[in-house]
Amino acid sequence: MFAFKILAILGLTTIVQAIRPPQYNTAITAADLIRIAPDTESCTGTTYADECRTASAAAPAIAISFTNFAISSFGAQAALVAIMLFESGDFKYNKNHFPAPGRPGQGTRNMQSAGFNGKYAEYLSIICTNCGITPADVEKAKGEGPAAVLELVSSDQWSFGSAAWFLRTQCDAAIEDGLAAGTEAGFKSYIEDCVGTTLTDDRIAGWQKVMALKQCQFNSSPTAIMGISRDSRHKRSASGAKRAYYRKKRAFEKGRQPANTRIGAKRVHLVRTRGGNRKFRALRLDSGNFSWGSEGIARKVRVIAVAFHPSNNELVRTNTLTKSAVVQVDAAPFRQWYEAHYGAALGRRRQQKAEEEVKKSKSVESKQKERHTAQGKVESALERQFEAGRLYAVVASRPGQSGRVDGYILEGEELAFYQRAIRK
């Protein structure tokens, strides 16, 4: 269930969508931030007034960053808000000033080092069409020094978005899984294993204040919760009535969350939908049914890795399974069928030891020989994959909807097309 969309707000041409189903329906607000850190209400008396931002300025930028980088779970959002408040002194600083004169190039609201700010700027220059940061700007800033690179990402949009970017691109998927659980152990793993610093009592106290917002959903107004909002005319009206024709629903306004299906031991959640219907949201899958079109067969095979994705390379890095993803699957089941059907070896030229020849009747040998002569030819590109033990295949099902990862083996011109894309 992946709805890849262009964010008109920021002009992001690609967006990371590997996230969990949302737990909350409204975005973080200024009231939330003030409840956590009262000093964010005002910038009066601050030393660096040009860097200070109030909760009113910070909340919209943080909410947008959660959408842009697909930070959906409350636990992950809470960790990012906590680290930004801690590192920036309740949003009073956007650059490192201590100990004086500070570290040149270190900054943004989560106080990234100069090296990560360089990576952040490069990332934005590549995926964002109208962010005002181009590859040429990044190269020029690098030539001028770390401080110039920091300036590129110091606007509110990018400064408050750096923590979400760091979690999404620099941390392992297991880190975000731990944060989503909302445990102190998960937060500790994030701080020590990903951020690379020590978890102090002050950090824990700040994180606990943000986590307390989760309780406010039962005791206070809906503004005290975080998540991703959607349009006001989504699908049916509040009473269940159908929308008028001129208020037709639009797919890009659904606010629908991707399933974040990764490769791993099978784990599928049952989701109840409107009308008592059900769908199966796969969180982890490691095998599926794939067909070999030219031979007219299908086998259940192990999914090894994601090799290419037409929408986003980040989904390749995280091995996220979606419809249209190009994956590598185990070739053994198909090889076994081919050799039993045609009586000829396939993709075994690299093996040193020849297998013992199985005795067959003359009629079986004759049938296999006829089959092999008529239609047993395998294209060279596919044969090389059999030798390697892995075949390229395309996922045709929607794991987030059906709970399955099914597809077909790539052949012919389609295989050549994707091989060129993978080489790039």
What tens-digit pLDDT sequence spans the chain (424 residues)?
A: 333 333 434 444 343 333 333 334 357 888 899 999 999 999 998 999 999 999 999 999 998 888 888 888 899 999 999 999 999 999 999 999 988 889 999 999 999 999 999 999 998 988 776 778 988 999 999 999 999 999 999 999 999 999 999 998 899 888 988 998 899 999 999 999 999 999 999 999 999 999 998 755 433 333 333 344 455 555 677 777 877 766 666 666 666 677 889 999 999 999 888 888 898 999 999 999 999 999 999 999 999 999 999 988 889 989 999 999 999 999 999 999 998 888 888 877 544 445 556 677 777 777 777 777 777 788 999 999 998 889 999 999 999 999 999 999 999 999 999 999 988 7
β-strand pairing of 297-308 with 267-272: unpaired
> Residue 386, Cβ neighbours under 10 Å: how many?
20
Q: Tell me how far apart the terminal alpha carbons of the chain are, to the nearest angstrom.
A: 27
Q: How far is CA 349 from the centre of its chain?
A: 39
CATH class of the region 262-345+378-423: alpha beta
Q: Which residues make beta-bridge pairs with 271?
A: 279
Asked if domains 30-217 and 262-345+378-423 share a fold, the reply is no
For residues 242 and 274, the answer to whether their CB atoms sit within 8 Å is no
For residues 193 and 175, the answer to whether their CB atoms sit within 8 Å is yes
Nearest 5 degrees, angle CA 44-CA 46-CA 50?
100
Question: Cα separation of 330 and 114, whole Å?
Answer: 42
User: How would DSSP label each residue in 271-323?
Assistant: EE-GGG-EEEEEEEE-EEEEEETTTTEEEEEEEEEEEE-SS-THHHHTTB--T
Domain ranges of the chain: 30-217, 262-345+378-423
Decide: helix, strand or coil at residue 402. helix
> Which listed CATH number (1.10.530, 1.20.1510, 1.10.760, 1.10.10) goes with 30-217?
1.10.530
Rg (CA), the chain: 26
For residues 344 and 372, the answer to whether their CB atoms sit within 8 Å is yes
For residues 365 and 376, the answer to whether their CB atoms sit within 8 Å is no
Tokens representing 209 are 């204040």
Tokens representing 387 are 């030798």
Which residues have C-beta within 8 Å of that of residue 57, sequence separation ≥ 6? Answer: 156
Confidence (pLDDT) at 273: 84
Q: Which residues make beta-bridge pairs with 391?
A: 329
Question: Cα separation of 67 and 407, whole Å?
Answer: 30
- Between helix 74-87 and helix 201-211 the angle, nearest 10°, is 130
β-strand pairing of 326-330 with 287-292: unpaired
Tokens representing 123 are 């990332």
Q: Which of 310, 303, 304 is nearest to 324 (CA)?
A: 310
Q: Which residues make beta-bridge pairs with 392?
A: 328
Decide: helix, strand or coil at residue 199. coil
Question: Cα separation of 321 and 229, whole Å?
Answer: 25
Confidence (pLDDT) at 254: 66
